[in-house]
Structure 1
Amino acid sequence: MSIPYSSLKQVPLSYASCSIGCAPTDILPRRLQAISQAGFSAIELSFPDILAYGAHATGQEIAADNYPQILPVASEIRRLCEENGLKIMMLQPFSNFEGWPKGSREREEAFARADGWMEIMNVIGTDLLQVGATDTPKESISVERENIVSDLRLLSDKLADRNYRLAYENWCWSTHAPGWKEVWEIVKAVDRPNCGLCLDTFQTAGSEWGDPTTESGLIESVSQSELRKRYEASLEELASTVPAEKIYLLQISDAYKVSPPLRDKTVDGLRPRGRWSHDYRPMPYDGGYLPIEDVAKAVLRTGFRGWFSMEIFDSGPQGTGKRYEMGSYAAKAMDSMQKLLKNCATD
């Protein structure tokens, strides 16, 4: 399928609230202002940002399950977004939900958390919940496909009661679904009209092309020619088999090639690709090396013309931190997004 540039001019552009700001003074209202002034029309609202803004506004920490205190903060954030002409496109990241043993305390807490987050969705005015494919260790959960599907089907039905949707995302360090195809197979099996995909340029290229533990930054278990062949075949399959209407958004970021490579071990509960995701993800054309344009083109070839959302975690090539002024940084992100769209066009 061709990708006419004329069809890309109206692609709506969003920015994750957690993906900007590098100083304690870069509080949420200032972030929203920078995102709005750069021309983005919506945000993904990060749950940790709600808690952080609540602590700033009230002078005290708010527990992650204290919804009576969280909801007024969420309401104020919605007001701030409206002041800045921003829609709250999605609440994220809802993680480690699926696979807990039936009758376990963790499973009960996961479903209670779902109820609480739906109350937040009601207050902030979004209908979309991002659910990341769990990275809980296999020793703690069941990764049997039927159990994963059953849990997500129950969550989809709970969301459907309020006309909400579930955007399921592959995380490249996930215990059971690191690639786009795994989450797509799960979404198909869930078989609910309100359950679709959150795709991500980094998560796809980072699971099928890159590896932060190797000197080359590439998966080295096969030759580079075989790696390219497999990657192209995977993206061709995505473009030809995933219906556009089952894609709810595409998140945009690249990755630095880590030097020296990350050690192939779990640190602070995160596998290497998880650490890579948290600290080494610049915007496109800003020092990264993954073939992310190929992912975006494959998604656009499905006919998808929905949300492109900038979600970056840029602590610099060494992962040690980065300083910038938010206004110019957000403007640079918009330029990067526009360049990506132009480069994806076939005309």
Structure 2
Amino acid sequence: MMTYQPAIMSASLGRAWLHDLDYKIEQAAKAGFKGIEIFYEDLEYAARKIAGNDHPTPEQLLEAASHVHDVTERVGLKIIGMQPFLFYDGLLDRAEHQRLLDKMKLWLRIVKQLDTDTIQIPANFLPAEQVSEDFDLIASDLRELADLGLAENPPVRFAYENLCWSTRVDSWEKLWDVVQRVDRPNFGVCLDTFNIAGLVWADPASPTGKTPNADADLQDSLERLVQTIDVAKVFYIQVVDAERLSSPLVAGHPFHVDGNPPRMNWSRNARTFLYEEDRGAYLPVEDVAKAIIFGLGYKGYVSMELFSRTMAEAGTHVPVDHAQRGIRAWNKFVERLKLAAS
């Protein structure tokens, strides 16, 4: 029986336009990972190589997915899911909603080629004027996807994830509210240590890097999480840290982008693997992970997901370095938490 196994996201090993997907997969396996999340942009770039242009057909995307499956099978990696299905839930533009529903029909074919059963959906982070405040509408949109997945044989699951800068669903509480409203057996959550601690405990726009009552608020949040969430709905988890910035992420900061929430800019540029104190890691990742693993009783894949400016560096050393950093973090995590890894 599987206890805990390490996974990593393909994009965490380097940017799609700079680093070959096959090579990234091979380096993940060589480092010792057992699973991998396939980032859609990686798959699309692989399909562009097949097409010879920037507009691959659905058939070429499916061909790329079949090839990726063959590579992962050869090196002994399990594809635990594909992500991210972006900007879907709660759209006020219902024509765009329908277009994305049609896109999901292709994604359902792609995941079959990948031999995986899970699609990850980040909560929508488009500007507020484009996203409904009506949680019934958000849930209804997601229920449509869940029903499409249930019609597949075998069924496809959807792991919904709150981002700490999402427009409407930024907390685990709101995430769980939506999951209960959707009320489908194949619709659950991806819990991410960064997105939980990054909202309740951390604030990159603050001079302290923390919220005013960080420790007490996080403890309260985690106690309620353990009492509230059904572990059967936790499809997989992501364990990752982030940098304590030397100055607040406000206008004038190198990571600032007008119109983007500070936490979004922080996430895209300055995540780290856990225990990388030399890179500025400072979030209470272990506290969040312990609540999920020991409090809820989660068992399964633990994905060492990363977004960082370091992934945009050129060179074949980049996937190697990120894979090695990720597995070092995993090994220390297993040791410190005394996990029964397999």
- Of 177, 180, 197, the match for 2:172: 180
Q: Do structure 1's residue 39 and structure 2's residue 26 form an aligned pair?
A: no
Alignment-derived partner of residue 193 in structure 1: 185
- Of 56, 79, 82, the match for 2:73: 82
Q: Do structure 1's residue 134 and structure 2's residue 114 form an aligned pair?
A: no
Alignment-derived partner of residue 87 in structure 2: 96
Indicate the larger mover: 229-238 or 136-145: 136-145
Alignment-derived partner of residue 266 in structure 2: 276
**Post-superposition offset of 1:329:** 3.5
Alignment partner of 1:134: what SS?
coil
**Post-superposition offset of 1:57:** 4.3
**Post-superposition offset of 1:32:** 0.7
Q: Give the gaps of 5 or more residues in structure 2.
A: none
Q: Do structure 1's residue 312 and structure 2's residue 306 form an aligned pair?
A: yes
**Post-superposition offset of 1:135:** 0.5
The 5-angstrom pairing of residues 112-191 of structure 1 reads 112-162=102-152, 163-191=155-183
Residues 1:51 and 1:268: Cα distance change in structure 2 (over 3 Å): farther
Distance in 2 between residues matched to 1:285 and 1:35, nearest whole Å: 19
The 5-angstrom pairing of residues 253-268 of structure 1 reads 253-263=240-250, 267=257
Distance in 2 between residues matched to 1:57 and 1:268, nearest whole Å: 36
Q: Do structure 1's residue 217 and structure 2's residue 227 form an aligned pair?
A: no
Q: Do structure 1's residue 244 and structure 2's residue 237 form an aligned pair?
A: no
Contact 2:27 2:319 in 1 (8 A): yes
- Of 19, 30, 44, the match for 1:51: 44
Indicate the larger mover: 141-150 or 332-341: 332-341
Question: Structure 2: which amino acid aligns with 1:145?
Answer: F
Contact 2:16 2:42 in 1 (8 A): no
Distance in 2 between residues matched to 1:244 and 1:322, nearest whole Å: 40
- Of 328, 332, 337, the match for 1:344: 337
Deviations along 1:21-60, one digit per CA (max 9) or x if unpaired, are 3696631111111100111111100000011122234432
Distance in 1 between residues matched to 2:162 and 2:261, nearest whole Å: 15
Compute the TM-score of the two structures, normalised by the length of structure 1: 0.88
Alignment partner of 1:146: what SS?
helix
**Post-superposition offset of 1:251:** 0.7
Contact 2:143 2:182 in 1 (8 A): yes
Compute the TM-score of the two structures, normalised by the length of structure 2: 0.89
Question: Structure 2: which amino acid aligns with 1:183?
Answer: L
**Post-superposition offset of 1:268:** 6.3
Structure 1 segments of 4+ aligned residues over 6 angstroms from their partners: none
Alignment partner of 1:261: what SS?
coil
Distance in 2 between residues matched to 1:146 and 1:277, nearest whole Å: 28
Deviations along 1:288-329, one digit per CA (max 9) or x if unpaired, are 11111111001012111111001111325xx98597543343
**Post-superposition offset of 1:269:** 5.5
Distance in 2 between residues matched to 1:168 and 1:22, nearest whole Å: 24
Alignment partner of 2:257: what SS?
coil
Deviations along 1:204-247, one digit per CA (max 9) or x if unpaired, are 1111111111111112xx3xxx3211110101111222121110
Alignment partner of 1:94: what SS?
coil
Contact 2:17 2:45 in 1 (8 A): no
Alignment-derived partner of residue 235 in structure 1: 222
Contact 1:264 1:272 in 2 (8 A): no
Residues 1:207 and 1:128: Cα distance change in structure 2 (over 3 Å): same
Residues 1:164 and 1:268: Cα distance change in structure 2 (over 3 Å): farther
Query: Alignment identity in percent?
Result: 33
Distance in 1 between residues matched to 2:85 and 2:309, nearest whole Å: 23
Alignment-derived partner of residue 206 in structure 1: 198
Indicate the larger mover: 261-270 or 199-208: 261-270
Contact 1:15 1:35 in 2 (8 A): yes
Q: Give the gaps of 5 or more residues in structure 1.
A: 1-6
Alignment partner of 2:4: what SS?
coil
Contact 1:213 1:264 in 2 (8 A): no
**Post-superposition offset of 1:258:** 2.1
Contact 1:296 1:344 in 2 (8 A): no
**Post-superposition offset of 1:264:** 6.1
Contact 1:62 1:69 in 2 (8 A): no
Contact 2:4 2:339 in 1 (8 A): no
